A and B are shown apart, each in its own frame.
Chain A
Amino acid sequence: MSLEIFDRVLAGYTMGTHMLFTYWAITLPFFIISAEYLAYKKNDPYYLAIAKRWSVVMAVLFAVGSAAGAAIAVEFITVWYKWMYLVNQIDILPFDIEVMAFFAEVIFLALYLYGWDRMSRTAHMIVGGLIGLGSSASAVLIILVNSWMNTPTGFNIEAYLQSGQLTGVDPLSAALPIIALAEVPMGLAGAWFVGFGSIAGYFAFRKLTKKDMTTDEKEYYNRGLKLATYLGALDAIFLGWAGDNAGKTLYLYQPLKLATLEGVMQTAAGAPMQVGPITIPNMLSLLSTWPPNPHATVLGYSSFVKADWDPIWYISHTAYDLHATLGIIGAIAVWILAYSFWKQPKNALFKAFGLDNPAENKIPLYAMFFLGWLQLVAWEAGWVAAETGRQPFVIWGPMVQTASGLYEIQAVMLTADGFNNSPEVLPIGISIMVVLALAVAGTIYMLKKLFTGKEVSADVSSARLIMATNAGGSSSLNIKRK
């Protein structure tokens, strides 16, 4: 394996590991405070138990996610230092602001965990919301840097391409690149969807596998399942719009990347959409344009100079298809399930699939389990598509038409010019990969150990006591069973 490939694999691996935890950091705060809110509003100890147990999960996952984040930060300045030099000169502002977002996340997380009995309920939920705001802000800021790599701005690109001199640097302008209009909504909506989906998947898994469930456990898991499904369904609306918006934005500002993701080799008016073996006529033109134009011209690889073709376009295209397919199926499934929870429809079609009582029937539970956890695959596949789809450039540039009529990208930096070619990177990089794998395995193990012997029933009983105490010590507990 060449060092260039290894450096890319190392960065992809570290980022991929970091991604496994970032979506939890972005999603869990909102799930937890929703549960906390419902607990107080409905005087329901099950929701309070959910909030308390999952806040421990949030803390553990945050710690490991931060460790992977620190690893990628050091890899930026060691393995990809040539790229990082340009980022530092032009677009470091989002990283600087992200420090504050990250710190806010850490501090509010600590205050939330320790503040259960030490601040008012409203204040506690606000603190929880601020964790989510901090983690979401961190995500947005990092995605802004990624966006800048796709549509660089904030400096005199032409002068740089001609002479290598950096002039006209404007860090504020660099911080808001145009393609962020596509990337930021997609990143946020996707993170929330995979988070809520996998939480629902977990609750479904427990419902399917836990034997001799007590009444308290059943109520606990049912509520968690329903809450995660409702939140996922809500986010799926945002996700649907974000995905559609991303395609349209790419059509306008990065048509070569759209061609890579969609596997468009030939420029065509009325371009079809290719999903695996299925071809849908005119669909790509229709979806990429606004107002929708089924006859619009979509640029394919045939309109670009061959040097700019992504050499691994097939990886990007396949990953993109996987990402979109799983996301769309997941969104449809979660809408159906949320509707079923809400209305508990009794017609024959819904009953046939167990949707008259989705929390108790195997088909919807298996659907939630598989589709929920497959969103993790969709999430990682989306990022693989995005990052392999940027090749051969690590920082893009303006798209210009050559004398031959073909387009070319005047790239600010090729990937091949950005990596560290020192041989010592290989053994140390492999060690980093091993350590990260151990960290992930260790985290899962620690989570399991933390909750072994800490039964749901005990947390529910404790929540009952808290609520009874806060209600004035009344001994009769007004519990609404769902």
Chain B
Amino acid sequence: MNEFVLFFFIPLAWFVTAFMIEAGSVVMIPVCRYENYREKMLIVIGSLWAIIATSLVYLVVSLDTIFAPVMFVTGAVLYAPLMVLIIMLAFHHFSIGVAEGSSTLGKHSMERTFLVLALPFALIVAFLGNTLFTSVFSGYGFCVHNLLTLDITPNYTQMIFNAFNWVFFIGVVMYVVYFTVVFYGIKERLLVGALGLTLANILFLVSTHEWLPVVFNSAVNNAGFWIYIVILYAYLYIATTRNVPFRQAWIFLLTFIGAMMFGAFTQGRILEDIVPAGTVGPLPGVPASLLLTNAATLTAGSIVLGMAGLLVLGGITAVSYKVLYKVATERVEAKKATVK
């Protein structure tokens, strides 16, 4: 697999994982009793949502740098869901922002209202993101007139309403339930977490078996994949029954690894369901490496993006999150002490 294509999965996996924290925190409202975990949820959202927003910037710029020709796809095919996604993201962040502001002002009912309001927008953003993702890898929604000249037009009905999109999305939602239970260490919902993980695994395997055979075959034939699944179950139990240091960081890392594994299992193929095997190589689909930017720009840009990834995402974000989280936790403790 081309190393630049694999590299692209780093910002993609990062954003997906970071967004899961926010989406999962908002999902907590129906999954768990709100008041029990409100403080923790707000601390996390408050610490992270700006970093999540900037992760999206990193993802978009990485896409621009690594896959310049993909502009003809984003512009001619994917523009509608992309533009709608931005609108939904704006509403989502506005709701979160108002909720946080309300929390600062002590207006808790307004805070709860806006967090509940953020939930459908979070789900729509996740769904649109999933639609883009499944569409690119499967090809559903792409009407290819001439692949060589990237003469492609969209079919939005097919893009949104194909079975792969929905099955995979429900799998993602189930994983978010598992993720959230582990992230917050909610021992009362251990079984819900286990159910979520099991359903997620089933749905991911079924959907890739049906519609992304390259991914399915790569995964099931890889011992590391099965070890990873076992680790997820084991960590669910440990995180909800024991006091694990850096619990949240571990599930973040596990999810990030899982997303990267998915990327590796694609073997860099896209449009798998509309370009039969043998058209461009022995595997179905088209190698994404055909859409790479020219070598000079790619090399220079990748160095900078790599530095951004190492220095900023890995180092500074972790440090600042720890600082923000620590500070916010201290504030909560101080408030509790005052109330007592």
Contact = CB atoms under 8 A, between A and B. Distances in A.
B308 interface: yes
Contacts of B54: 66, 102-103, 106
A144 interface: no
A67 B89 CA distance: 9
A92 B317 contact: no
Interface string A291-333: 0000000000000000000000000000000000000000000
Contact of A71 (B51, B86, B323): B86
Interface string B297-340: 10011001101100111001100100110010000000000000
B82 A78 contact: yes
A237 interface: no
A169 B295 CA distance: 9
B71 A81 contact: yes
Interface in A65-124: 66-67, 69-71, 73-75, 77-82, 84-85, 87-90, 92-93, 95-100, 102-104, 106-107, 109-111, 114-115, 118
A92 B64 contact: yes
B296 interface: yes
A114 B324 contact: yes
A103 B300 contact: no
Contact of A100 (B50, B80, B311): B311
B45 to A, nearest CB: 13
A106 B80 contact: no
Interface in B39-59: 50-51, 53-54, 56-58
Contact of A169 (B75, B101, B296, B323): B296
B87 interface: yes
Given A77-B64, A78-B74, A81-B79, A96 B308 contact: yes
A442 B91 CA distance: 11
Contact of B83 (A74, A106, A107): A74
B90 interface: yes
Chain A interface mostly: helix
B206 to A, nearest CB: 32
A424 interface: yes
Contact of A442 (B64, B79, B98): B98
A99 B15 CA distance: 14
A99 B79 contact: no
A168 to B, nearest CB: 9
Most buried by A among B51, B105, B308: B308
Contact of A170 (B61, B296, B324): B296
Interface stretch (A43-51, A354-362, A364-372, A427-435): A427-435
A374 interface: no
A435 B104 CA distance: 25
Contacts of B79: 78-79, 81, 420, 422, 424-425, 428
A77 B94 contact: no
A210 interface: no
A439 B90 contact: yes
Interface string B254-294: 00000000000000000000000000000000000000011
A69 B308 CA distance: 19
B76 interface: yes
A93 B323 contact: no
Classify chain B's interface size. 35 or more
Most buried by A among B75, B85, B320: B75
Given A88-B64, A446-B98, A70 B89 contact: yes
Contacts of B94: 67, 438-439, 442
Given A92-B64, A432-B87, A422 B76 contact: yes
Given A79-B79, A106-B50, A107-B316, A93 B297 contact: yes
B78 interface: yes
A84 B98 contact: no
A114 B313 CA distance: 19
B84 interface: yes
Nearest to A89: B68
A88 B312 contact: no
Given A63-B97, A169-B294, A424-B79, A93 B50 contact: no
Interface residues of A, number: 61
Given A85-B71, A114-B324, A96 B301 contact: yes
A171 B295 CA distance: 10
Contacts of A268: none
A109 B294 CA distance: 36
Contacts of B101: 446, 449-450
Given A71-B90, A84-B71, A169-B297, A429 B83 contact: yes
B17 to A, nearest CB: 17
B180 interface: no
B65 A92 contact: yes
A171 B323 contact: no
B64 A432 contact: no
B120 interface: no
A170 B51 CA distance: 32
B67 to A, nearest CB: 8
A192 to B, nearest CB: 24
Nearest to A445: B98
B64 A95 contact: yes
Given A66-B53, A96-B308, A103-B308, A111 B320 contact: yes
Contacts of A106: 50-51, 54
B93 interface: yes
A82 B75 CA distance: 8
A172 interface: yes
A96 B297 CA distance: 11
A435 B91 contact: yes
A293 to B, nearest CB: 41
B126 interface: no
14 contacts: A69-B57, A78-B82, A82-B72, A85-B72, A89-B293, A92-B301, A110-B50, A118-B327, A169-B294, A171-B296, A424-B80, A439-B90, A446-B98, A449-B105
Which 4 pairs between the two chains have the least Cβ-Cβ distance? A81-B75, A88-B68, A78-B79, A96-B304
Interface of A: 63, 66-67, 69-71, 73-75, 77-82, 84-85, 87-90, 92-93, 95-100, 102-104, 106-107, 109-111, 114-115, 118, 166, 169-172, 420, 422, 424-425, 428-429, 431-432, 435-436, 438-439, 442, 446, 449-450
Given A95-B64, A106-B51, A428-B83, 6 more contacts: A70-B56, A79-B83, A89-B297, A99-B305, A425-B83, A442-B94
